[in-house]
Structure 1
Amino acid sequence: MLSVTAKDLMEEFRLELLNAETDVAFRPIKISDISRPGMEMAGYFTYYPAERIQLLGKTEMSFFRELPVEDKKDRMERLCTYDTPAVVLSRGLDAPAELIDAANQVGVPVLRSDMTTTRLSSQLTNFLESQLAPMTAIHGVLVDIYGVGVLITGSSGVGKSETALDLVRRGHRLVADDSVEIRQEHEGNLVGRAPELIKHLLEIRGLGIINVMTLFGAGSVRNYKRIGMAIHLELWDQKKQYDRLGLDEETMKVFDTDLPKITVPVRPGRNLAVIIEVAAMNFRLKRMGINAAQQFSDQLTNVIEEGDRDDY
């Protein structure tokens, strides 16, 4: 199971660890949801989501300070469980002694941030959803073409990397070559990036490994990109019937997302970079409601129907 730690949050958001023992910072966080325990401060723990990060803001702490001394100790002991990944204080608020004592007993990290509660909650949620999203690796190339993340797949040696190099030379941006790490951050939202070891690198057979950012500049690469469509390259098969109108809509399933897919046959003389570039532009037009293939089909149908009426 994917997880991050309180130490990761400390490094990402410059949070301060308030515990005396630093080992608690390595407690795993496995859920991206954030809880603001207002009802728990009032003593209602029936549906307490202990496995979530507990975010304490000005409202919760103001209520806590008005509680009787015996209730303060009880609330914090019930708030800090062995399942609680972390307690975070916003607005630079001071941690009450009852919280520190209860957290130290079960090893819960107590963190503090100077950010406002709403902003901190939003940023923590976005970061955790990104880090804890389901991830898979696909053999292929990911390129940003006119703002569309195009995942290029195909068998080894079919020309994926060479096509990506040609696209970069035409002004588009490389995201990943050979291996694309794909995370489903939200339903229907696939984000691809390169493994850290091969980021910004392209492997061209006969030439070797090249650094795209060094050769073409920082504007030729991206660290990550949302994937909009997939293009599968395959060697031309004379016996196979390929779509010539563009009405057939294939999909490629990644997690729960159906990714639009186009199969492009490869043979000498075909400029794959131009074909993929136009495919990306046509994809954008379809999202804007302009479908050239459907318009042609409708016009053809109208001509046929008019011809039939003339026969009568």
Structure 2
Amino acid sequence: MSSSIDTGAAPAPASDAHATPATIGDVQRLASDIHRSVAAVIEGKDDVIRTAVVVLLAEGHLLIEDVPGVGKTMLAKALARSIDSPMRRIQFTPDLLPSDVTGVSVFNQDTRTFEFRPGAIFANVVVGDEINRASPKTQSALLECMEEGQVTVDGTTYQLQKPFLVMATQNPIEMEGTYPLPEAQRDRFMARISMGYPPAGAEVEMLDVHGGGSPLDRMRPVTDGATVARMADRVAQVHASPALRQYIVDIAAATRGSSALRLGASPRASLQLLRAARAYAALDGRDHVIPEDVQALIGPVLAHRVILSSDNQHLHRGAGAVLGEIVRRVPVPAASR
């Protein structure tokens, strides 16, 4: 049984079925507007912002991992506020319940029936703060939402509005009071990025900009949910040649056969890599994917999905370095159009 519900928030404007089809130029301009808006809040992190915009336009989900205080939540909020659509924030804590995320059926004494009360997941943009402080059971409440864009409670399925983007932050697993994300949960995130510390000049500018108040309060939306959904539809049409698709499959297969990895990339990872590469190409103004697009996204899209072998863990090798070596051994297609 499927149902749509009123979440109590203003719905995103419906797309006009007769609207002029979006062009690659439209996508590029929208991405530039969002990037510029977020960059006014997050200084010195253009690569990180670009990856976040790629995930948004590729209809994926974003995991932001780093130590506390480097702007993870600020990035997520800034991207969300750039879009004039319903946004919800979930603070993940050890006592958070799955029903707090998805919603719960409550018995109405007047009507003598059960009524569904939607949880915080019912929004176009969901900011999950410190996701790995919640229990694995609560983390798993996101699996169906992120993969299928729907929530099932008490046998009834409720559809989520598009666009639907989950941006979750997490602290490194060595930090106090954290739970590791299950492999299935990590695989739902299209990309994982790390903020890192800002350059000295950007940090000085941050003290000036943020010292008198939060720049988030001065942010204004630069687009809306309907426009993002329309641009995402155009991104999905970016051409990827058979040779380029084979290249992605060859990379995934190479990770599965590598002795340096205990767990390689899943078929879902291959699909996510293709979708992200299409968005990456569109941001560069191209209507086709080239191998360099794929290579640029190997770290963000694959590193959090693979598990290093015991030997490599003992050597403290990073997944990014291992993946880089694997990709260098995979033949690059001569033609990509």
TM-score (norm 1): 0.21
Report which of the two structures shows the higher radius of gyration computed on alpha carbons.
1
| Greater RCO, CA 8 A, separation 6+ | 2
TM-score (norm 2): 0.20
